Amino acid sequence: MSSEVPPEVENFIGFLRAERNYSGNTVAAYQRDLVQFFKFLKAQLDSTDYKTIGRLEMRAFISELQSNGNVSTTIARKLSAVKAFYNYLTKQGILKTNPLTSLFSVKVKKGLPDFLSHSKLEKLLESDFPDSFQGKRDKALLEVFYSTGMRLSEVANLNLEDVDSSAMTVRFRAKGGKYRILPIGSKALKSLKNYYTHRQLHLKKNKEAGKKTHLQAIFLNRFGRRLSTRNMRNIIKRHLGKVSDNPRVSPHTLRHSFATAMLEAGADLIAIKELLGHETLSMTQKYTHVTTKRLKRIYKQAHPLAEISESLEKRSGDRNKTANRDKVTPAL
């Protein structure tokens, strides 16, 4: 870790890893943000004494982030990391009070989640994938993401024993270190079965070449080791790019698409909340942007005036057609 960073930061990172069971990616993000924060303090204030930090210094840090072109979501995440560090210091008794308790938050513009329609994903999943290790792996990877709504780190850490084909479930360590069990669809299981044949041959080939392989990991790279989240993200992005022009597509797009498809099919928010592993219902409510179509369908099925409205609309349309047909254009 950088020399500008006090040893308490390293202790905090260890706490996140051991006590909170945060994923490697989450821990790395906290570490990067805190290193950046203390480098800023050293460069701008010539001090890394966290005990003297207050609102003024935090305002300067925010201003620096904004001037460097960071978007509001990125700034909010970095502030959250710093606040979490100070909460840790307070709870450990290193600080008597948290100087950042009343620090204002950066307003984050809440956009709609990026998602792909079921028809687009169906088109992708039914397209031809090469009959090879890579082709079968990529197909299985896409199917698992869309079938379960799991996070990137959760899928990357899956082992063979985590998937129960007979029970059609997948067990995994979720965000926060808790184990969860989710249903997994038959298409995803079929894709995994097709991939496993190539996977075994791939492992054998790499083992014979003297390479260290990972026997338990489901998704492997070309060397027979566990596929990293970075490579997994690139694979998903490449395939989703075949059916979407959105440059922001990612594994999380499939998670959003999973939730959107569930909601469109009639699942209630509480069920989707449980499937996604959200802590609060408010986190799931962002998916209600797709309910317009569903609400219109329910309205037509249930409201007594819906049928009358449709009938009147049809009659009006018929009258307009008749009027246009009978209309005589005057001679010039």
Helices marked H in the chain: 7-18, 24-45, 55-67, 72-91, 118-125, 133-148, 152-156, 186-208, 229-240, 251-264, 269-276, 281-284, 291-302, 304-326
Q: What is the pLDDT of residue 19?
A: 83
Fold that domain 118-292 belongs to in CATH: hpI Integrase; Chain A (1.10.443)
| Chain position carrying tokens 């084909």 | 165
Q: What is the pLDDT of residue 314?
A: 55
On the 0-12 / 13-18 / 19+ scale of CB atoms within 10 A, 21 is: middle
Lay out the sheet containing 163-164: strands in order across.
163-164, 169-173, 179-183
Distances (CA, A) of 137 to 144, 157, 202, 279: 11, 15, 11, 31
What's the CATH code, domain 7-91?
A: 1.10.150.130
Phi/psi for 150 (5° steps) reads -70, 160
Which positions are annotated as active-site residues?
151, 175, 252, 255, 278, 287
Whether 7-91 shares its CATH topology with 118-292 is answered no
Q: What is the pLDDT of residue 234?
A: 95
Q: Does the reported pTM lie above 0.95?
A: no
Q: How far apart are the first and last CA of the chain?
A: 88
Q: Where are the domains of the chain?
A: 7-91, 118-292
Q: What is the pLDDT of residue 331?
A: 38
Q: How many Å is the Cα radius of gyration of the chain?
A: 26
pLDDT per residue of the chain (332 residues) written in tens, 0 to 9 = 566 788 899 999 999 988 887 878 888 999 999 999 988 888 877 777 778 777 778 888 888 888 888 878 888 888 889 889 999 999 999 988 887 776 655 555 555 567 898 999 999 999 999 999 999 999 999 999 999 999 999 999 999 999 999 999 999 988 777 899 999 999 999 999 999 999 999 999 999 999 999 999 999 999 999 999 999 999 999 999 999 998 889 999 999 999 988 888 888 889 999 999 888 887 787 776 555 555 566 566 666 665 554 554 555 555 555 555 454 443 33
> What are the tokens at 261?
């498809």
